[in-house]
């Protein structure tokens, strides 16, 4: 999978996961969480390079076509979920 396509899938899934716990949050509220998740793992792109794509997934996520399902190993799944818990 090309890096850009892989990044889109990862960003879409990150946005969906956070939206589950914070469905009414604004972009400025969730961007720090998304950025921290993005920067937690080594990536081929920096946050500044994918920020606009992440914002698009956050703002229009439900209107975007579904992404390819990504299956993560247990260790990565745990890492991907860090910081996604709902904060009232």
User: Over 80: is that where the pLDDT of 80 sits?
Assistant: no
Among 40, 8, 3, 37, which Cα is nearest to 21's?
A: 37
Residue 35: the pLDDT is 94
In-domain check, residue 88: no
Distance CA 7, CA 43 (A): 9
Confirm whether 11 is domain-assigned. yes
Residue-number span of the structural domain to which 8 is assigned: 3-81
pLDDT at 47: 95
Task: Answer yes or no: is 53 within a domain.
Answer: yes
37 membership: H or E segment, kind and range: helix 27-40
Confidence of residue 30 (pLDDT cuts 50, 70, 90): very high
pLDDT digits (tens, 9 = 90+) for 60-76: 875 555 555 555 555 54
What tens digit of pLDDT does each residue of 43-54 get? 889 999 999 999
Q: Is the pTM of this model over 0.85?
A: no
What total of structural domains would you count in the chain?
1
Percent of the chain residues topping a pLDDT of 90:
27
The candidate with the shortest Cα–Cα distance to 16, out of 76, 49, 63, 48, is 63
């Amino acid at each position: 999978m090309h890096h850009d396509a892989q990044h889109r899938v990862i960003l879409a899934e990150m946005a969906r996961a956070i939206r589950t716990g914070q469905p009414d949050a604004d972009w400025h509220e969730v961007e720090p969480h998304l950025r921290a998740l993005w920067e937690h793992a080594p990536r081929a792109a920096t946050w500044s390079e994918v920020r606009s794509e992440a914002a698009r997934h956050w703002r229009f996520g439900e209107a975007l076509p579904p992404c390819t399902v990504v299956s993560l190993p247990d260790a990565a799944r745990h890492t991907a979920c860090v910081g996604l818990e709902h904060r009232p």
